[in-house]
Amino acid sequence: MDVLTQINDWLWAPLVVLVLGFGLVLTVVTRCLQVRLLPEMVRQIVRGEKSEEGISSFQALSLTLSSRIGVGNIAGVATAIAAGGPGALFWMAVMAFLGGATAFVESTLAQVYKRRIDGQFRGGLPYYIEKGLGLRKVAVVAASVAALLYAVLAPGIQSNAISSSFESALGVDPLVTGLVITGALALIIIGGRQRIVKFVEVIVPFMAGLYILAAVVVLASNATALPAAVGLVLSSAFGAHSVFGGILGSAIAWGVRRALFSNVAGVGEGTYGSAAAQVSHPAKQGLVQSFSIYIDTLFICMATGLMIIVTGAYNVEPAGGPALATNLPGTEAGPAYTQAAMDSVFSGTGGPFVAVAIALFAFSTLVAFYYISETNLTYVLDRTPAAGTAVLKVLLLGMTFWGAVQSADLIWAIGDVGYAALAWVNMLCLLFLAKPALRVLRDFDAQRRRGQEPTFDPASIGLTGVECWGPEAERAARAVEDRDRS
């Protein structure tokens, strides 16, 4: 555990600076697209395009939100507050705002460099590294790290949150929960997935709505204490609080770390769903994915964090230092904080409700993890071999069960290593790929100023290595259609 902690310190300390700095630079050079193009983001979600080859903007948004909305929105917020104090919540919001620009860049690139495979659009992190930078070997490394993260290092975080929440709320043995989760996941990724996936697609948005409604009720019930809670967050965030001011560095570090885990802006996780969408201009999908960061972090995470702080349902125990707040003695940081906050208003039912919400959110995330890891495996091997996918399934199921019965500290430390490693690979590549994405944005803005509905021709802005855009792509698509008809 000490070794993992040291590795995470090495990886995350400079990564926090890179994430905030890169997001700030992109915000400036895009003229704060997060604000000025907010109405356009909503318009694209409402009237998204689609075809037989690609899903709609709204469907792509739903696809990426299924992986983004999960344990990070409930347990991740709690661990940020436990390690960095209430001020970590403010820095989560800062990272989300700046991360909106980063998400735009990576999702726009996923659209620009997507490919048409078996009649459908595919793409994401390794594809834009190969096509945009011409570095196939680096792309293979990125895809390998992503496959390792989503099949081995990250699943345990999801299953651990489910098992710990059910143990806290209902006293269920983590071993039993682990077996149930693993068995249900096996049904989806091994066989009979269509009916279950459809059930998850319906019930998860419904549960998300109920969770937000419950959080609003908790905040409304503590309305008189809300101004003081907001003041505590702000004073802690800037080192002005008498108790939490001394851990300003931890507030920034853990706020950014947990926000990055939750919304994955800059990690590349959202690029796979982004590439699958059918739009007339890549910037449109970039804007949609930028908006998804707000839904994930500025809406759901902030609701969770304020609910925890306003009810006092948290401990603050910085690494290597004395406890600064012990409001829940003997309670491990994670879902239990949110459950205690809910129970303060919904006595006896808040804990089980949060456990069910976590189970559904985390389970849908595990399903998304499998498809992401399989996509990356296919890229590395240039095909989808049966033996390879079988090994992938065994690894994912094994790590899901193992994570459910381990300590939360160990599981989060392992996951943090994986997310930091992939973020480093993606962010360094984005430094060199930001310029093409910015040219795409300028083209989008120019067409809008002329009153046109933006369409994309890569040749008009000097982009090469693009397969699915422009006259050549249209001719290639028609040739495929003619061949299929004959």
Least confident piece of the model among 315-329, 377-391, 465-479 = 465-479
Query: Residue 66: what pLDDT?
Result: 67
Q: What percent of the chain has pLDDT over 70?
A: 90
Does the structure show a pLDDT above 70 at 54? no
Among 273, 262, 274, smallest CA distance to 95 is for: 262
What are the pLDDT digits (tens) for 400-442?
999 999 988 899 999 999 999 999 999 999 999 999 999 999 9
CB 340 within 8 A of CB 313: yes
Query: Residue 34: what pLDDT?
Result: 94
What does the alpha-carbon distance between residue 213 and residue 14 come to, in Å, rounded to a whole number? 37
Of 61 and 10, the one with more pLDDT: 10
Query: Residue 48: what pLDDT?
Result: 61
Query: Residue 319: what pLDDT?
Result: 81
Least confident piece of the model among 57-66, 254-263, 304-313, 362-371 = 57-66
CB 146 within 8 A of CB 126: yes
Tokens of 245: 């001011």
Does the structure show a pLDDT above 60 at 52? no
Does the structure show a pLDDT above 50 at 39? yes
What are the pLDDT digits (tens) for 186-195?
988 876 445 5
Query: Residue 223: what pLDDT?
Result: 95
Backbone angles phi, psi at 86, to 5 degrees: -60, -30
Confidence of residue 25 (pLDDT cuts 50, 70, 90): very high
Q: What is the mean pLDDT of residues 2-30?
A: 93
Does the structure show a pLDDT above 70 at 133? yes
Q: Give me Rg for the CA atoms of the chain.
A: 22
Query: Residue 475: what pLDDT?
Result: 55
CB 290 within 8 A of CB 107: yes
- Averaged confidence pLDDT in the chain: 88
Tokens of 399: 């790590």
- pTM of model > 0.95: no
What are the pLDDT digits (tens) for 286-344?
999 899 898 889 888 999 999 999 999 999 998 878 899 999 998 888 889 999 999 99
Q: What is the mean pLDDT of residues 228-252?
A: 92
H-state helical runs in 247-349? 248-263, 271-275, 282-293, 302-311, 335-343
Tokens of 345: 């208003």
Does the structure show a pLDDT above 90 at 119? no
Residue 261, Cα to own-chain centre: how many angstroms? 6
Does the structure show a pLDDT above 80 at 198? no
Query: Residue 414: what pLDDT?
Result: 94
What are the pLDDT digits (tens) for 254-287?
999 999 988 889 999 889 888 888 889 999 999 9
CB 292 within 8 A of CB 45: no
Does the structure show a pLDDT above 90 at 364? no
Q: What is the mean pLDDT of residues 50-73?
A: 68
Query: Residue 470: what pLDDT?
Result: 77
Query: Residue 484: what pLDDT?
Result: 46
Q: Are strands 325-326 and 315-316 parallel, antiparallel or unpaired?
A: antiparallel
Query: Residue 452: what pLDDT?
Result: 92
Q: What is the mean pLDDT of residues 347-355?
A: 90
Q: What is the mean pLDDT of residues 466-470?
A: 86
Does the structure show a pLDDT above 80 at 60? no
